Amino acid sequence: MSVKYFTNGNIMDVVNEKIYKGSIVVENGIITQVGEDVACPEGAEVIDFGGKTVSPGIFNCHTHICMSANPSDPRPTSDAQIAIQAIKACKEFVQSGVTFIRDVGGSNYVDIDIRDAARKGDFVAPEMVVSGKCICMTGGHGWSMGREADGVDDCRKAAREQLRAGADCIKVMATGGVFTKGVEPGSQQLNEDELRAAIEEGHKAGAKSCTHAQGMSGIKAALRAGIDSIEHGFYMDDWCFEWMKEHGTTFVPTLTAVYYTKFSEAGIPEFARKKVDAAYEDHLNTFRGAYKAGVNIALGTDAGTPNNYPNQTGFEMVLMEKAGMTKWDAIKAGTINSAKLVGVEKTHGTIEAGKKANFTVYTANPIEDMNNVMDCCMTVIGGEVVYKK
């Protein structure tokens, strides 16, 4: 049995919103004891946190590991190039404290192969769930990487194809988007019946669903169709918020993606910048409305879009606070709220006995200054120190 004693840490209790000086005992990757007066078991390996702040492992629930965020990089096309890019992204996530990702749109099913290799321990990576190819209408947003589908039967078949390939979740495209030329974020794409068919197939297999949805009509169609999370959500109203609260639907706003598209100096096509400029304030207002209404908000950055790198995951929490969220609620978005979205809240998301020993260690306290989430000095996954600065 592997026993480790993590000590001298300022441990973040995200449930009770407090930080205390304490220690953690980990046996075979699972927390068995945590608290202020926990003794070191005989023979345990001792890891000293050095007085740093210890958060539950951070999630990123909207990633694209198969895409390079560097706008000057040629787009990976061969499976080998895509796999190299994905492994690089996984390394960057880990080095910035991300211990769990939900990837929502891969290429050629490489994301599924990467997940399987990571689970075998072939390389260091966050834990992950993946969606395979996104399901979009012919010529719709994401068509170049996705599975184009038209009509109810084809959407149902497309979802079954992703599940057969090994996808953990189903990604559907309810509206147009920013980076597909010739489509608009506000315009609906897959209709309600098409969305429902794909979502139902996922639910039958125990797979949750998420949707790229920016315009109001597409968002409402996805909600009525039974979607589990709304991604981006530029335009939502009180009806959306009430529906989401009643049905347990999560909002993943990806503020980071919109920020980098609007404010990056280079690498952003003019057509994309114009779309974001038109929606920027509405998106922030939607985020504030969802937060005020009590909608579950999880952390996702859309990492892989231009200038939006995996190691910038913490910036989402910074932007959440700037938009009006409390510091503790921003931390919860990246931990327990995200764990609930992914369906692993019983084993992840907090530092408690019985949960997996995934920790993100910050050099300084984020509750004093949210920008401190950008300075990870240690990452622990399953009780193993996989990164240390």
Q: What is the pLDDT of residues 96-116, one digit of tens each?
A: 999 999 999 999 999 999 999
Please tell me the distance from the alpha carbon of residue 31 to that of residue 11, in angstroms, as a whole number. 13
Residue 116's SS3 state is helix
Domain 3-56+346-388 has CATH 2.30.40.10: yes
CATH class of 58-342: alpha beta
The CA-atom distances, in angstroms, between 222 and each of 14, 197, 225, 246 are: 31, 11, 5, 15
Give me the phi and psi of 142, to 5 degrees please: 90, 10
Q: What is the pLDDT of residues 195-224, one digit of tens each?
A: 999 999 999 999 999 999 999 999 999 999
Please tell me the distance from the alpha carbon of residue 263 to that of residue 276, in angstroms, as a whole number. 10
Neighbours of 376 (CB within 10 A): 25
Of residues 266 and 293, more confidently modeled: 293
Confidence class for position 184, pLDDT limits 50, 70, 90: confident
Q: What is the percentage of the chain residues whose pLDDT exceeds 70?
A: 100
**What is residue 182's predicted lDDT score, i.e. its pLDDT?**
79
Tokens of residue 56, six digits = 């539950």
**What is residue 269's predicted lDDT score, i.e. its pLDDT?**
86
**What is residue 66's predicted lDDT score, i.e. its pLDDT?**
97
With residue 321 as reference, give the H or E element that holds it: helix 315-322
Domain parsing of the chain, residue ranges? 3-56+346-388, 58-342
Range with the poorest average pLDDT among 167-181, 248-262, 304-318, 361-375: 167-181
CB 15 within 8 A of CB 55: no
Q: Please determine, for residue 179, whether its predicted confidence score (pLDDT) is greater than 90.
A: no
| Rounded average pLDDT over 262-274 | 87
The CA-atom distances, in angstroms, between 377 and each of 317, 337, 384 are: 17, 23, 14
